[in-house]
Amino acid sequence: MRGVLDVPEALVPVQGLIADSLLSVEKVFDEHLAAELPPVDQLCAHVERYRGKMLRPILVLLGALSAAPESAGLFEAGREGEIVSDELIRLAAVCEMVHMATLVHDDVLDDAELRRRGATLNHLKGNEAAVILGDYLIAGAYHLCATIGRSDLSERIGRVSMDLCAGELLQLHHRGDLSLDEPTYFEIVRRKTGTLIGVSCELGASLVNAPPETAGALYQTGMRLGVAFQIRDDLLDLTGDEQRVGKSVRKDLEKGKLTLPLVHHLGACEPMARGRALELIERGARGMSDAQERELLERLGETGSVEYAESRARALVSEAQGQIATLAPTPARSLLDALAQAVVDRAL
Amino acid sequence: MRGVLDVPEALVPVQGLIADSLLSVEKVFDEHLAAELPPVDQLCAHVERYRGKMLRPILVLLGALSAAPESAGLFEAGREGEIVSDELIRLAAVCEMVHMATLVHDDVLDDAELRRRGATLNHLKGNEAAVILGDYLIAGAYHLCATIGRSDLSERIGRVSMDLCAGELLQLHHRGDLSLDEPTYFEIVRRKTGTLIGVSCELGASLVNAPPETAGALYQTGMRLGVAFQIRDDLLDLTGDEQRVGKSVRKDLEKGKLTLPLVHHLGACEPMARGRALELIERGARGMSDAQERELLERLGETGSVEYAESRARALVSEAQGQIATLAPTPARSLLDALAQAVVDRAL
For residue range B179-191, what is the model confidence (pLDDT) as tens digits? Answer: 999 999 999 999 9
pLDDT over 70 at A206, yes or no: yes
How many beta-carbon contacts under 8 Å exist across A and B? 152
Give this prediction's pTM. 0.93
Collect all residues of chain A within an 8 Å Cβ-Cβ radius of residue B127: 127
The reply to whether residue B139 touches residue A109, judged by beta carbons under 8 angstroms, is: no
The reply to whether residue B158 touches residue A169, judged by beta carbons under 8 angstroms, is: no
* pLDDT value, residue A344: 78
- For B38, which residue in chain A has the nearest alpha carbon? A170
Structure-model confidence comparison of residues B309 and B109, the more confident one: B309
* pLDDT value, residue B121: 78
The reply to whether residue B105 touches residue A135, judged by beta carbons under 8 angstroms, is: yes
Mean per-residue pLDDT of chain B: 91
The reply to whether residue A142 touches residue B158, judged by beta carbons under 8 angstroms, is: yes
User: Above 0.90 for ipTM, yes or no?
Assistant: yes
The reply to whether residue B143 touches residue A129, judged by beta carbons under 8 angstroms, is: no
Q: Choose, out of A162, A168, A172, A251, the residue to mutate when testing the contact with B (most B CBs < 10 Å).
A: A162
pLDDT over 90 at B2, yes or no: no
Mean per-residue pLDDT of chain A: 91
The reply to whether residue A145 touches residue B154, judged by beta carbons under 8 angstroms, is: yes
Collect all residues of chain B within an 8 Å Cβ-Cβ radius of residue A161: 135, 138-139, 142-143
- For B171, which residue in chain A has the nearest alpha carbon? A39
Fold type of domain A9-345: Farnesyl Diphosphate Synthase (1.10.600)
Give the CA angle between residues A191, B145, B128 to the nearest 5°.
Answer: 40
Collect all residues of chain B within an 8 Å Cβ-Cβ radius of residue A155: 143, 146-147
pLDDT over 80 at B43, yes or no: yes
Collect all residues of chain B within an 8 Å Cβ-Cβ radius of residue A256: none
* pLDDT value, residue B52: 82
* pLDDT value, residue B285: 77
The reply to whether residue A162 touches residue B143, judged by beta carbons under 8 angstroms, is: yes
How confident is the model over B268-283, as pLDDT tens digits?
A: 999 999 999 999 988 8
* pLDDT value, residue B343: 82
User: Which candidate from A133, A143, A168 shows the least CB-CB separation from B132?
Assistant: A168
Lowest mean pLDDT among A103-117, A126-140, A289-303, A318-332: A103-117
Collect all residues of chain B within an 8 Å Cβ-Cβ radius of residue A109: 128, 131-132
The reply to whether residue A39 touches residue B172, judged by beta carbons under 8 angstroms, is: yes
pLDDT over 60 at A2, yes or no: no
- For B130, which residue in chain A has the nearest alpha carbon? A169
**pLDDT level of residue A269 (50, 70, 90 thresholds):** very high
Q: Choose, out of A154, A161, A257, the residue to mutate when testing the contact with B (most B CBs < 10 Å).
A: A154
In DSSP notation, A275-293 reads HHHHHHHHHHTT---HHHH
As a whole number, mean pLDDT of residues A264-276 equals 93
The reply to whether residue A166 touches residue B142, judged by beta carbons under 8 angstroms, is: no
Task: Kindly list the domain boundaries of chain A, sorted by start residue.
Answer: 9-345
Contact yes or no for A142/A154 (Cβ under 8 A): yes
Q: Write out the H or E segment, with its range, that includes residue B114.
A: strand B114-115
Q: Which of A325, A322, A343 is nearest to A334 (CA)?
A: A325
* pLDDT value, residue B244: 66
Q: Write out the H or E segment, with its range, that includes residue B115.
A: strand B114-115
Q: Choose, out of B100, B143, B251, the residue to mutate when testing the contact with A (most A CBs < 10 Å).
A: B143
The reply to whether residue A131 touches residue B129, judged by beta carbons under 8 angstroms, is: no
pLDDT over 80 at B114, yes or no: no
Contact yes or no for B202/B308 (Cβ under 8 A): no
Cα separation, A11 vs A8, whole angstroms = 6
* pLDDT value, residue A108: 83
Phi, psi of B2 (to 5 degrees): 50, 40
**pLDDT level of residue B152 (50, 70, 90 thresholds):** very high
* pLDDT value, residue B143: 98
Lowest mean pLDDT among A222-231, B47-56, B144-153: B47-56
How confident is the model over B74-87, as pLDDT tens digits?
A: 999 999 999 999 99
The reply to whether residue B158 touches residue A146, judged by beta carbons under 8 angstroms, is: yes
Phi, psi of B118 (to 5 degrees): -130, 170
Contact yes or no for A154/A144 (Cβ under 8 A): no
As a whole number, mean pLDDT of residues B10-39 equals 94
As a whole number, mean pLDDT of residues A127-131 equals 89
Chain mean position to CA B106? 13
CB atoms within 10 A of CB A224: 27
Q: Which residues of B149-173 are buried (b: 16+ CB within 10 A; e: fewer)?
A: ebbebbbbbbbbbbbbbbbbbbbbb
Phi, psi of A118 (to 5 degrees): -130, 170
**pLDDT level of residue B144 (50, 70, 90 thresholds):** very high
pLDDT over 60 at B26, yes or no: yes
Contact yes or no for B91/B208 (Cβ under 8 A): no
Collect all residues of chain A within an 8 Å Cβ-Cβ radius of residue B150: 151
Q: Write out the H or E segment, with its range, that includes residue B119.
A: strand B118-119
User: Which candidate from B129, B138, B149 shows the least CB-CB separation from A135?
Assistant: B138
Q: Do the strands A118-119 and A114-115 form a parallel or antiparallel pair, or are they unpaired? A: antiparallel
Lowest mean pLDDT among A32-36, A116-120, A205-209, B304-308: A116-120
**pLDDT level of residue A282 (50, 70, 90 thresholds):** confident
**pLDDT level of residue A252 (50, 70, 90 thresholds):** confident
Q: Which of A214, A205, A174 is nearest to A191 (CA)?
A: A174
Please list, in sequence order, all residues whose beta carbon lies within 8 angstroms of the beta carbon of residue A10, skipping any fewer than 6 positions away: A331, A334
Collect all residues of chain A within an 8 Å Cβ-Cβ radius of residue B35: 162, 166
As a whole number, mean pLDDT of residues B307-314 equals 96
* pLDDT value, residue A246: 66
Q: Which of B247, B226, B225 is nearest to B236 (CA)?
A: B247
- For B127, which residue in chain A has the nearest alpha carbon? A109
Collect all residues of chain A within an 8 Å Cβ-Cβ radius of residue B112: none
The reply to whether residue A165 touches residue B37, judged by beta carbons under 8 angstroms, is: no
How confident is the model over B250-267, as pLDDT tens digits?
A: 778 888 889 999 999 999
pLDDT over 80 at A192, yes or no: yes
CB atoms within 10 A of CB B138: 28
**pLDDT level of residue A245 (50, 70, 90 thresholds):** low
Is residue B217 classed exposed, middle or buried when 0-12, 13-18 and 19+ CB atoms within 10 A define those classes?
A: buried
Lowest mean pLDDT among A29-43, B94-108, B195-209, B285-299: B285-299
User: Which candidate from A40, A147, A161 shows the least CB-CB separation from B169?
Assistant: A40
The reply to whether residue B135 touches residue A134, judged by beta carbons under 8 angstroms, is: yes
- For the CA atoms of chain A, what is the radius of gyration? 20
Chain mean position to CA A320? 15
Cα separation, B128 vs B118, whole angstroms = 19
* pLDDT value, residue B247: 65
As a whole number, mean pLDDT of residues A103-111 equals 84
**pLDDT level of residue A225 (50, 70, 90 thresholds):** very high
* pLDDT value, residue B161: 97
Is residue B41 classed exposed, middle or buried when 0-12, 13-18 and 19+ CB atoms within 10 A define those classes?
A: middle
* pLDDT value, residue B242: 66
User: What is residue B317's DSSP assignment?
Assistant: H
CB atoms within 10 A of CB B16: 12
How confident is the model over A36-85, as pLDDT tens digits?
A: 888 889 888 888 888 888 999 999 999 999 999 999 999 999 999 999 99
The three state secondary structure string of A114-137 is: EECCEECHHHHHCHHHHHHHHHHH
User: Which candidate from B151, B155, B169 shows the least CB-CB separation from A133?
Assistant: B169
* pLDDT value, residue A36: 84
Highest-confidence segment of A46-60, A81-95, B237-251: A81-95
